[in-house]
């Protein structure tokens, strides 16, 4: 078993409220990602689960039992950090074996565990080397192997891929997902990188200023953001948000445009709204039945696609287009909108108004 739950965690550092009622429910064996910007309270949440932070409020439950008062060592959790210091004088084998030696496991138990984890991480051929004889990526794998060699109740991971270059990071994302599946262990993984979160998680909890904004699968969080802030934080390029209100069977933009009112909208006429449009739900058309008039502001070629920035009044819409798209700044264009995939938010509260009617 390896369930982890927090209930109403509260923690202040002086005037800073780092956690403000954080409630999470991490199922056994899940890859649970806590996603949020810098300062959101992600590390504090992990430290609270590990028992390294004295809480002002709330409780931590491990396998259904209240563990709030338990010292860290009694919780049977393993923390994996950004920085891994390997012992330079020890071989890779000894480095990986060290957590088991500290727990007085027998030599045969240690040998079996090191063999199992090094085969899982594809580092068997490195076992006799010393850290100085490893590349950065190999060191990373050894460090992960050392963290994963034990079988604790759950692994708590604090941005473990942050210090890697982009190529290795992408590679290790796939590796971690594979390792998680093989181990069947519970991972609570903290990151500020939404791509990492969406690509690896079973469940994502989005945290902002110490408060959970939404918990859901990566698809739910991306496709059905609970509020304007989650919609803006998750997704690249960021979602475009246009001020508007409903008027009869139309949506009327603050910039003077109109669109048919989506059939799922429950918002009453006149209420200030934000229309959220993701780049892939828009297309650029020079003629035809398009919906929003604008002008080309700039092109951002990204290899496999080009993001076209289109100015609609004073706002810039991000539109995903083919890599071959061309155009001149200032050129008039029309942007076709897939309204079935659009989002509406209350401009005052930021809360989504899309879900009720869909």
Ligand X SMILES: Nc1ncnc2c1ncn2[C@@H]1O[C@H](COP(=O)(O)OP(=O)(O)OP(=O)(O)O)[C@@H](O)[C@H]1O
Which residues lie near ligand X (CB under 6 A)? 13, 16, 18, 36, 38-44, 192
> Least distance (Å) from ligand X to the CB of residue 158?
7
Structure token digits, residue 112: 């079996």
Shortest gap between Cβ of 340 and ligand X (angstroms)? 35
**Sole residue written with tokens 């890859």:** 31
How far CA 213 is from CA of 68, 111, 157, 347, in Å, comes to: 24, 44, 21, 17
Q: Which residues pair with 57 in a beta bridge?
A: 10
Shortest separation between residue 341's beta carbon and ligand X, angstroms? 30
Residues 6+ apart with CB under 8 A from 264: 354, 356, 357, 358
Taking the least distance from each CB to ligand X, the nearer of 49 and 279 is 49
Distance CA 202, CA 195 (A): 13
d(CA 1, CA 312): 53
Closer CB to ligand X, 41 or 327, in the complex: 41
Q: Which is nearer to ligand X, 158 or 309 (CB)?
A: 158
Scored b (16 or more CB within 10 A) or e, 235-246 reads beeebbbbebbb
- Cβ of residue 201: shortest distance to ligand X, in angstroms? 16
- Shortest distance (Å) from residue 286 CB to ligand X: 43
Which residue number, 18 or 244, has a Cβ lying nearer to ligand X?
A: 18
Q: Which residues lie across from 35 on neighbouring strands?
A: 191, 206
Rounded Cα gap, residues 229 and 194, in angstroms? 13
Question: Given CA atoms 79, 76, 86, 172 in this order, what sign does their dihedral have?
Answer: negative
The least distance separating ligand X from the CB of residue 99, rounded to whole angstroms, comes to 24
> Nearer to ligand X by C-beta: 192 or 203?
192
Output 81 or 264, the one with its CB closest to ligand X. 81
């Amino acid at each position: 078993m390896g369930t982890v739950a927090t209930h109403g965690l509260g923690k202040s550092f002086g005037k800073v409220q780092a956690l403000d009622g954080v409630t999470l429910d991490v199922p056994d064996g899940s890859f649970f990602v806590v996603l949020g910007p810098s300062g959101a309270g992600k590390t504090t949440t992990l430290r609270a689960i590990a028992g390294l932070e004295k809480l002002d409020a709330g409780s931590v439950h491990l396998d259904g039992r209240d563990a709030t008062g338990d010292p860290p060592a009694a919780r049977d959790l393993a923390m994996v950090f950004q920085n891994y210091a390997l012992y330079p004088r020890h071989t890779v084998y000894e480095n990986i074996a060290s957590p088991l030696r500290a727990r007085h496991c027998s030599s045969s138990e240690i040998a079996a565990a090191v063999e199992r984890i090094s085969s899982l991480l594809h580092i068997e051929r490195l076992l006799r080397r010393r850290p100085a004889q490893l590349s950065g990526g190999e060191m990373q794998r050894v460090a992960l192997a050392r963290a994963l060699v034990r079988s604790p109740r759950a692994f708590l991971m604090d941005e473990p891929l942050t210090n890697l270059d982009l190529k290795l990071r992408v590679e290790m994302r796939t590796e971690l997902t594979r390792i998680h599946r093989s181990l069947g262990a519970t991972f609570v993984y903290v990151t500020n990188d939404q791509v990492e979160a969406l690509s690896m998680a079973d469940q994502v909890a989005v945290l902002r200023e110490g408060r959970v904004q939404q918990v859901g699968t990566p698809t739910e969080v991306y496709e059905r953001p609970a509020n304007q802030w989650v919609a803006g934080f998750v997704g690249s390029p960021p979602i475009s948000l246009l001020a508007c209100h409903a008027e009869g069977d139309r949506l009327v933009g603050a910039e003077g445009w109109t669109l048919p009112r989506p059939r799922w909208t429950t918002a009453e006429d006149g209420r200030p709204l934000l229309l959220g449009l993701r780049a892939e739900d828009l297309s650029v058309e020079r003629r035809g039945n398009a919906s929003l008039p604008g002008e080309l502001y700039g092109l951002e070629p990204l290899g496999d696609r080009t993001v076209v920035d289109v100015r609609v009044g004073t706002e810039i819409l991000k539109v995903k287009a083919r890599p071959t798209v061309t155009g001149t700044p200032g050129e008039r264009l029309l942007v076709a909108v897939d309204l079935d995939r659009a989002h509406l938010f209350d401009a005052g509260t930021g809360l989504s108004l899309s879900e009720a009617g869909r």
